[in-house]
Amino acid sequence: VTNSLQTIHPELAKLLHVEKNGKKTAHDIVATTAKTIHWLCACSKPYERTIHHMLGRGVGCVACRKAESLAKKQKDKDELAIT
């Protein structure tokens, strides 16, 4: 498939949850699908999200994305305090 997730977004294809997507691989999933896909976070937690959401809002489970957001807010706050 020329418009597969593997072909169009190989960086996302690496995050695909092998077991939870049944027999579908990154080569089988169309990159423009609106269906929810199962992913595996760097922290090893599985999560579900559409490809569009992954591209627009970033990758990672809710806990990791929240921690990243809080860390960024704290960094911004610290930088403001310095200036």
Q: What is the pTM of this model?
A: 0.82
Contacts of 57-61 with CB under 8 Å at 24 or more apart are 59/12, 59/15
CA distance to 4, 38, 51, 69, per residue, from 80 (Å)? 44, 38, 35, 17
Residues 37-81: pLDDT tens digits? 999 999 999 999 999 999 998 899 999 999 999 999 999 888 888
